[in-house]
Every structure is written in structure tokens, then in C-alpha cells.
């Protein structure tokens, strides 16, 4: 056998393809519309609908951007509560963004 011929790969020196498992998981997830139903609804309610879009702008301006922790109270508890409150709004915004990305690559 000459050196230019392709030999069967040696499993001991062949690098592990870790991405193969991730790719399989992604394919399984992309075929399950129940997993992205919330993203689709967020997109339709808060991006396509003019009233929903205005609502998200107001939520962003009034609740996400300003600091809502009151001075003179137990500051740490206020901060923790507000971050939980803001995380819910961020989840809605992320649902919109995720569904926009899904639409841009042609997946409903």
C-alpha cells in the first residue's frame, strides 16, 4: 500500500467529534414545534402587532432601563426582586428575537 492511499481512520488517534451529539439534539429540537410556541406567540403579540410593539417599548423604557430598587429600604431584597421581574420581560424580548432568527433561516 502506498503512502498516498487513504487508510482506515485509527480510532485511538482520531479526534472525538463532540459536535455530532449537539447536531443530533438540534435536529430533534427543530422538529418539535411545541418547544418554540412561546417564542412564536411573543413575536406575533409584541412584534407584529402595533399595540404589542408599543407595549414592549413602554415596558423597556419604564421597567428595564431605570433602576427600580427603592433607596432607604433593604436594598438587596429590592434588587433581587427587580431582577426577577426584569428577567420575565427579558424572556419575552428573547422570545421575539429567537423567533425572528428562526424566520430568517426559513423555519416556522
Instruction: Give the three cell numbers for residue 48.
Output: 407584529
How large is the average pLDDT for residues 35-54? Answer: 92
- 8-to-5, 19, 23 alpha-carbon distances in Å: 10, 21, 24
**Which position has the higher pLDDT, 21 or 2?**
21
> Confidence band (pLDDT; 50, 70, 90) for 94?
very high
- Is the pTM higher than 0.85? no
- 55-to-1, 15, 51, 72, 93 alpha-carbon distances in Å: 71, 51, 6, 30, 12
Question: Residue 81: pLDDT above 80?
Answer: no
Question: Residue 26: pLDDT above 70?
Answer: yes
Least confident of 3-12, 19-28, 80-89: 3-12
Amino acid at each position: 500500500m502506498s503512502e498516498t492511499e487513504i487508510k482506515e481512520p485509527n480510532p485511538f488517534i482520531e479526534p472525538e467529534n463532540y459536535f455530532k451529539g449537539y447536531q443530533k439534539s438540534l435536529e430533534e429540537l427543530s422538529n418539535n414545534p411545541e418547544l418554540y410556541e412561546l417564542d412564536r406567540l411573543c413575536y406575533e403579540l409584541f412584534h407584529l402587532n402595533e399595540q404589542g410593539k408599543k407595549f414592549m417599548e413602554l415596558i423597556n423604557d419604564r421597567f428595564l432601563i431605570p433602576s427600580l430598587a427603592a433607596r432607604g429600604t433593604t436594598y438587596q431584597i429590592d434588587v433581587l426582586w427587580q431582577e426577577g421581574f426584569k428577567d420575565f420581560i427579558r424572556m419575552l424580548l428573547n422570545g421575539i428575537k429567537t423567533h425572528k432568527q428562526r424566520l430568517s433561516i426559513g423555519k416556522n
